[in-house]
Amino acid sequence: MSYGLEFVNNSGLVVLDSEYARLSIIASGRYAPTQENGLGSVTTFQRAVTSQEPPLVFVRPDTVNAVAGLCQMRLIGSAGNWTGFYVRAYDVNTAQPNGRYFVAAFSAQPVAQYGMRVWDGSSNLLFDLGTPSALFTRAFQNWTYIRTDQDPQGLYRNYYSVDFNFPENEYLMINNFGMDMVTGGPMARRLYCWWDFPNQKLYALTIALSNPFKFWLPALFAKMNA
């Protein structure tokens, strides 16, 4: 940058400047079962996210001696007024949807009562002291295919896994696990996520009428940087 504000950390990395927005945490808290006999969870953000593009929701299920399965995530609200999100447990054999979350966007919001704010040259708010940043920590795309079976409806269910140690301070971006995948057939490939705490494995499951084996969807993790 030729002019403006720039902060550099001890490793020489730019952590804040007046040209590019950080991934700012707009709200955080807990999600819990609210409907569907404990399978569904609707969470309302402490404050609405005012970005035009959908914000990113990161979740960390509570550590349990079981599998925490999450699926069907969707945002609630619309452009400029994202108010919450829905997520569902995989089924009655997995843990109920209990855990922590934060929602983030590549823009800040005027939250702090005092401190510092930074705008870019187009008057977009890039930084507010009340919206701390989120830092991406790692991504997994090297899934190992495990097996295929069929669900009670006869649909093909594929299992993919990666070893994972489930640190308490890392959250999974759940947005992409709420999307269906293209199969080339009349039915989309549904997508699910399992946190297998006892066996220290992260699973991705797909369910489809046909049976494509290829799977490269990344699992993205981040942590809160208060």
Lowest-pLDDT range of 41-50, 82-91, 133-142, 179-188: 179-188
* Whether the Cβ atoms of residue 89 and residue 58 lie closer than 8 Å to each other: no
Q: Which residues contact 199 (CB under 8 A, 6 or more apart)?
A: none
Mean pLDDT, range 175-192, rounded to an integer: 83
> Mean pLDDT over all residues of the chain?
89
Return the pLDDT at 74.
96
Higher-pLDDT residue of 128, 53? 53
Mean pLDDT, range 205-218, rounded to an integer: 84
Return the pLDDT at 114.
85
Cα separation values, 145 from 151, 162, 194, 212, 220, Å: 17, 9, 14, 11, 19
Number of C-beta neighbours around residue 193 at 10 A:
24
**68-189-158-161 Cα dihedral, nearest 10 degrees:** -50
- 162: pLDDT strictly greater than 90: yes
Q: What pLDDT band is residue 152 in, cutting at 50, 70 and 90?
A: confident
Q: CA nearest 71: which of 42, 101, 40?
A: 40
- 8: pLDDT strictly greater than 80: no
Cα separation values, 50 from 19, 78, 183, 210, Å: 20, 9, 34, 40
pTM above 0.85, yes or no: yes
Q: What pLDDT band is residue 2 in, cutting at 50, 70 and 90?
A: low
Domain extents in the chain: 6-136, 138-219
Tokens of 109: 């919001």
Residues 90-101 have pLDDT tens digits of 999 999 999 999
Parallel, antiparallel or unpaired: strands 24-31 and 67-78: unpaired
